[in-house]
Structure 1
Amino acid sequence: MANTFKYLNKLPQNLRSITTTNTNKDAWLSKLFVRKIEPTKESHSRMLSDKEIIYSLQTHNYRPDSKNAYLNNVKNTVDFIKAQDALGKDVELVGSWTVNVGDQDQALHLWRFTGGFEKIDVYNKVLGKSEEFQRLNEEQGKIVRSRHLQYLLAFSYWPQILQRSPKNIYEIRSYALKPGTMIEWGNNWARAINYRKNNDEAFAGFFSQIGRLYNVHHIWCYANLTARKETRESAWRSPGWDECVAYTVPLIREMHCRIMVPTEFSPTQ
């Protein structure tokens, strides 16, 4: 217990008050770290997402000397996919960005598949038979250093994804959670998102299904960096926001953010 209270003395005052008002060790540990989640036979995806829509997030690291060639290749690929009658409007690009602050020489592309994994199977079958798509893919392979693909579900409590204009900046905040904490994360953010709706900055919120697991991505939209600063400071002045942060921070193994700008062919600007 001596080591425990030595640790508590290093905590911020607001977290210290949560713990020291409880004389029972188990009680304050449960409040400080994670609340108890009852066992369930429901999958986490069913409990956190209520839509039969799958999103894919493509992360590409392109060669520093090949940005223009890379973006031209992606645009041609997007146009080719749009022209496939077999896919119709069930496969669509939601957003396309290059990273301005964070991982340099990186681009992210967000696609929506209406119809779940069945539509993704159709997509893979159609493009797998296309020589033109294979040519575009091979061309891209010569100008990128690495590529990563994740399949995601949208959190049901996030606002509906809406296209933005005129041109904005976007922030993607990516979190690697401790295994088994996704429901706890959802419980807290279902409340926390209410503190971030005033300025319409919430663009999208996802959790991973295939790819790197226990990953969460929150995407925010701002007019500029100054607006981002003012919006985030406003959230901290809202009673209850600090408590939501206090409960979610212990669930995180790793986190990082990137500031992104839309490409010229991105549906959302």
Structure 2
Amino acid sequence: MANSLKCINSISSNIRNISTTTAKNDAWLSKIFVRKIEPTKESHSRMLSDKEVIYALQTHNYRADSKKPYLTNVKNIVDWIGTQDSLNKNVQLVGSWTVNVGDQDQALHLWRFIGGFQQIDAFNNLTDTSLEYQKIQEEQGKLVRARHLQYLLAFSYWPQILLRQPKNIYEIRSYALKPGTMIEWGNNWARAINFRKNNDEAFAGFFSQIGRLYNVHHIWCYENLNKRKETRESAWRSPGWDECVAYTVPLIREMHCRVMVPTEFSPTQ
């Protein structure tokens, strides 16, 4: 009888241990699997962005021996746009950078179109009929190896873009998401961004509208690489940041980051 009771007690103890282990595993797994988002008839862009402002991100791979003339060419384009009264200051250069770490011999230029796609149409009509602009573009074609253009919307939960004073470096973290996961991404980053506000490093956050779809770009601003290290380590010490990361990692198909430095004519430094 005593041996039977010992056997029963041992089995009960093992069951409790298994239950405890299972509960811990379930808690861990709950951070890995993506939460379900209910279907909606509203477009994702309307749910994630509340501004009638379109951003254009130009990515240029310039020839390794042509950096200086290439930047002069881009500066000429910026100056030409600034002289066009018909644009009414609705087309603005926000930032211009060359890549320091990541894709070498690459430059990124971020433009803001106030007035949405209607303003972009007006801009395209103007540049299509300007011989001066076309000449500058032809010169650029001789200096670059590849060009890519994306139209983006800003995430509504991201802090307002504020131009920075020198001297800073910028990091653009680009994510290719699984189709259908943009709302889930936005839900999680609406919370996650709160963990990254202490050092004012959040510069801009976008998702693509035209170009490579289901692309997200987060742009961060740091004083230097060491400040970047300290800021990111600080985020990991904040309760809740690890959970936000765990929820968003399964949404990503591909990601990469580039460290950039502003050009001389970039409005944000």
TM-score, normalised relative to structure 2? 0.90
1:184-205 deviation per Cα after TM superposition (whole angstroms, max 9, x unaligned): 0000000000000000000000
- Judged with a 3 Å threshold, the aligned counterparts in structure 2 of structure 1 residues 209 and 258 are, in CA distance, closer, same or farther, namely same
Matched length: 249
- Judged with a 3 Å threshold, the aligned counterparts in structure 2 of structure 1 residues 133 and 200 are, in CA distance, closer, same or farther, namely same
Contact map agreement 1:18 1:31 (CA 8 A) in 2: no
1:130-155 deviation per Cα after TM superposition (whole angstroms, max 9, x unaligned): 00000000000001000000000000
* 1:143 matched residue in structure 2: 143
The SS at the match of 1:171 is: strand
Supply the distance in 2 between the matched residues of 1:45 and 1:202 (Cα, whole angstroms).
Answer: 21
* 2:26 matched residue in structure 1: 21
CA apart distance, 1:21: 2.9
Supply the distance in 1 between the matched residues of 2:161 and 2:79 (Cα, whole angstroms).
Answer: 22
Matches within 5 A, 1:74-113: 74-113=74-113
Letter in 1 for 2:84: Q
Contact map agreement 2:31 2:243 (CA 8 A) in 1: no
RMSD: 1.5
* 1:216 matched residue in structure 2: 216
- Judged with a 3 Å threshold, the aligned counterparts in structure 2 of structure 1 residues 17 and 245 are, in CA distance, closer, same or farther, namely farther
Matches within 5 A, 1:1-269: 20-21=25-26, 32-269=32-269
CA apart distance, 1:167: 1.9
CA apart distance, 1:18: 8.0
CA apart distance, 1:33: 2.0
Can you give the 5+ residue segments of structure 1 that lack an aligned partner in the other structure?
1-15, 23-27
The SS at the match of 1:86 is: helix
Supply the distance in 2 between the matched residues of 1:191 and 1:267 (Cα, whole angstroms).
Answer: 29
1:86-119 deviation per Cα after TM superposition (whole angstroms, max 9, x unaligned): 1021100000000000000000000000000000
Letter in 2 for 1:56: A
Contact map agreement 1:94 1:267 (CA 8 A) in 2: yes
Can you give the 5+ residue segments of structure 2 that lack an aligned partner in the other structure?
1-20
Contact map agreement 1:93 1:112 (CA 8 A) in 2: yes
Supply the distance in 2 between the matched residues of 1:46 and 1:21 (Cα, whole angstroms).
Answer: 34
Supply the distance in 1 between the matched residues of 2:238 and 2:94 (Cα, whole angstroms).
Answer: 31
CA apart distance, 1:19: 6.9
Contact map agreement 1:19 1:31 (CA 8 A) in 2: no
- Judged with a 3 Å threshold, the aligned counterparts in structure 2 of structure 1 residues 45 and 76 are, in CA distance, closer, same or farther, namely same
Supply the distance in 2 between the matched residues of 1:18 and 1:130 (Cα, whole angstroms).
Answer: 67
Runs of 4+ aligned residues of structure 1 deviating over 4 Å after TM superposition are: 16-19, 28-31
Contact map agreement 2:101 2:259 (CA 8 A) in 1: yes
Contact map agreement 1:195 1:238 (CA 8 A) in 2: yes
Supply the distance in 2 between the matched residues of 1:197 and 1:204 (Cα, whole angstroms).
Answer: 12
Letter in 1 for 2:26: T
The SS at the match of 2:76 is: helix
Computing the radius of gyration over CA atoms, which structure comes out larger, 1 or 2? 2
Supply the distance in 2 between the matched residues of 1:30 and 1:119 (Cα, whole angstroms).
Answer: 45
The SS at the match of 1:35 is: coil
- Judged with a 3 Å threshold, the aligned counterparts in structure 2 of structure 1 residues 20 and 71 are, in CA distance, closer, same or farther, namely same
